[in-house]
Amino acid sequence: MTVSNWFLDMLFPKHCAGCGKGGGYVCEECEIGMWEEEQICPGCVRASRYGLKHVYCTEKSPLTGVTCLWAYEGIARKLIASGKYKFYYDYLRELTINSCPITVRPEFTQFREFILGRPLMVPVPLHPSRLRERGFNQAKVISQSLGLRWGLNTQDILVRIKDAGRQVGRKREERLRSMAGAFAFDSRIKIHGSRFKNILLVDDVWTTGATMNECARTLKQGGVKKVWGLVLAR
């Protein structure tokens, strides 16, 4: 811990987001209530041990695979929701710290192999109006935090050109329609060279996969070879 971090902790002590106990954002008792999410195919959303896309789902998703770290329940859900809507983005960083150790498990083998190829980490972008309202992009906070631990760079190469409105409560078909054509490459970015060959696309939550699949489709159309999705929770 740096001196500055120690000083901040003294001025603004951390309390567990679940029970309010002092010492950290997730106490040992509440951490027991966090459980790893089952890995799925990004095409059919059925179980896939390593998060790889099934061979018969090639046309259903442009993603090579998707890694879901936590179940969107209990303390994990509270951390993410508070990070997004109450602007406690330190909660998101705390959750990423807790996420790193679980990626050594066997079900993350294919994900680790993808990481070894040193992909560029790309956060799912917010629409400019939503970014102004919130003040930060939660996907970028997650991407940068994990990137520091894995030695990977984060870059905003996508922009959101269509505000599809709030997706909460919408059915999958509605989400898919609303997301069509929602993203584009940032015109300031030149997509050339090996650094854009493989992309690790990062978001906070996977609900139906509509947002992440549309981002991946835009990336593939722009010449990216492989896109793997990573979300904190599903």
- 188-229 residue pLDDT tens: 877 665 567 899 999 999 988 999 999 999 999 988 999 999
| 104-117 average pLDDT score | 93
Query: What's the predicted TM-score (pTM) here?
Result: 0.87
72, two tokens: 């969107």
Does 99 or 50 have the greater pLDDT score?
50
pLDDT score for 168: 62
pLDDT score for 172: 66
Give me the count of residues in the chain.
234
Q: Has residue 163 got a pLDDT over 90? A: no
Q: What percent of the chain has pLDDT over 70?
A: 88
Q: Where are the domains of the chain?
A: 12-233
Q: Is 135 exposed, middle or buried (0-12, 13-18, 19+ CB in 10 A)?
A: exposed
